[in-house]
């Protein structure tokens, strides 16, 4: 018999909000470009690049029956995505011959 896990919707919302908040605190991209929110219908033809390792989130962090606090993980995830973004853009600038360094 397979166990059924129920996610706590509030924990999921908190996870998303805390990751986004830590990303925004660490991101430098908003200083260089105009940012628009992704829209599935408008942006479905966009190709994305992989700039950061996708971490595995322990399921206990989001389960309704769990008392595990993972807020420290969320901050690190958002910060690491922002740093991956910065590293990607710096590498692109350094690898582009037409850009004066």
The proportion of the chain whose per-residue pLDDT surpasses 90, expressed as a percent, equals 17
Report H helices in 1-101.
9-26, 40-43, 71-95
pLDDT score of 90 more than 90: no
The per-residue pLDDT for range 52-78, each reduced to its tens digit, is 777 788 888 888 888 888 888 888 888
pLDDT score of 34 more than 90: no
DSSP 99: S
Block residue for tokens 């995505």: 81
Block residue for tokens 């996610």: 7
Compute the average pLDDT of residues 81-94.
88
10/12 Cα distance (integer angstroms): 5
């Amino acid at each position: 018999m397979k166990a059924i896990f129920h996610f706590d919707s509030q924990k999921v919302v908190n996870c998303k909000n805390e990751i986004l908040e830590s990303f925004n605190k660490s991101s430098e991209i908003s200083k260089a470009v105009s940012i628009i929110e992704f829209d599935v219908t408008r942006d479905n033809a966009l190709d994305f690049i992989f700039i950061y390792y996708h971490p595995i989130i322990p399921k206990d962090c989001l389960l309704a029956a769990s008392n595990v606090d993972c807020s420290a993980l969320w901050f690190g995830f958002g910060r690491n995505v922002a740093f991956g973004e910065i590293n990607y853009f710096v590498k692109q600038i350094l690898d582009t011959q037409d850009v004066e360094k």
